[in-house]
Amino acid sequence: MKRSKKMKRKTSETDIEISLNIDGEGKSNIDTGIDFFNHMLDSFARHGFFDLQIKANGDLSVDDHHTVEDVGILLGETFATAIGDKKGIKRMSHSIIPMDDALATVAVDISGRSYSVLNFQFKKSKVGDLSTENVEHFFESFANSARININAKVEGENDHHKIESLFKAFSKALNDASKIEHDIIPSTKGIL
C-alpha cells in the first residue's frame, strides 16, 4: 500500500504544492519563502522519516501568516489523504524531545476528529523570519485539516530551541502513530 499524495492549494493569498510520502526516508525539498519555517519543515520531514516537498508562494510582503496557515492546511489535507482509511495504524502516540534548554511533549491521535491543545509561550515576536504566533497557528491548521488530535507543550528559555523541539516531537509522534501494526481499524466505532 502506497501512502503518498501530491496536492495543490491556490488562493488569492498563496499558491502551494505539497508532495508527501508517509513511508519515506526523511528526504525533503522545502521552499516557503520563510527560511526558519523551511528549517522547521525540513526537521519535521527528517525526524518523522517523511519524504516531503513543498513549494509555496505567498503574500510575504503582507506578512508570513497566510503562508504558514495555508501550508499547515494543505500539509494536513495531504497527510489525511495519503494515510487513507487508517486500517492497521497504531493511531495514538507521543514523543518527548529535548533540545538543549527546551523540552517539548507532543501527543497525537489520528482519530478523524480535529482538536488541538497547545501550550506555547515565546519571548520574542519572531525567530528569524517566522512570527512565533504562527507556530501555534500552523499546528491548529494541520490538526483541523488532517482531522487529528494534537496535544503539545514546550518549556525552555530559547525560542529557537523550543520551536525546533516541538516540530521534532510532532514528527516523531506522527510517524509512530502512522505505523501499520495490524489489519483492523483501531476504533470501537469501526471507522476513523
| pLDDT, tens digit, 9 for 90 and up, residues 20-42 | 999 999 999 999 999 999 999 99
Beta strands in the chain (DSSP E): 4-10, 14-21, 28-31, 51-58, 92-99, 102-109, 115-119, 126-127, 130-131, 149-155
In a domain, 108, yes or no: yes
Q: What pLDDT was estimated at residue 187?
A: 84
Domain that includes residue 88, residue range = 4-178
Q: What is the pTM of this model?
A: 0.97
In a domain, 191, yes or no: no
Cα–Cα dist 53/27, whole Å: 8
Cα–Cα dist 89/39, whole Å: 28
In a domain, 192, yes or no: no
92-99 and 115-119 strand pairing: unpaired
The grid cell for 172 is 516523531
Helix, strand, coil percentages in the chain from 3-state DSSP, rounded to 5: 35, 30, 35
Domain count within the chain: 1
Is 74 exposed, middle or buried (CB count within 10 Å of its CB: 0-12, 13-18, 19+)? Answer: buried
Q: What pLDDT was estimated at residue 54?
A: 98
Q: What is the DSSP letter of 186?
A: S
What's phi and psi for 162, nearest 5 deg?
-65, -45
Cα–Cα dist 30/21, whole Å: 14
In a domain, 188, yes or no: no
CATH of the domain at 82: 3.30.230.40
Residues of the chain with pLDDT under 50: none
In a domain, 189, yes or no: no
In a domain, 116, yes or no: yes
pLDDT digits (tens, 9 = 90+) for 147-156: 999 999 999 9
Q: What pLDDT was estimated at residue 192?
A: 81
Q: What pLDDT was estimated at residue 180?
A: 96
In a domain, 97, yes or no: yes
In a domain, 187, yes or no: no
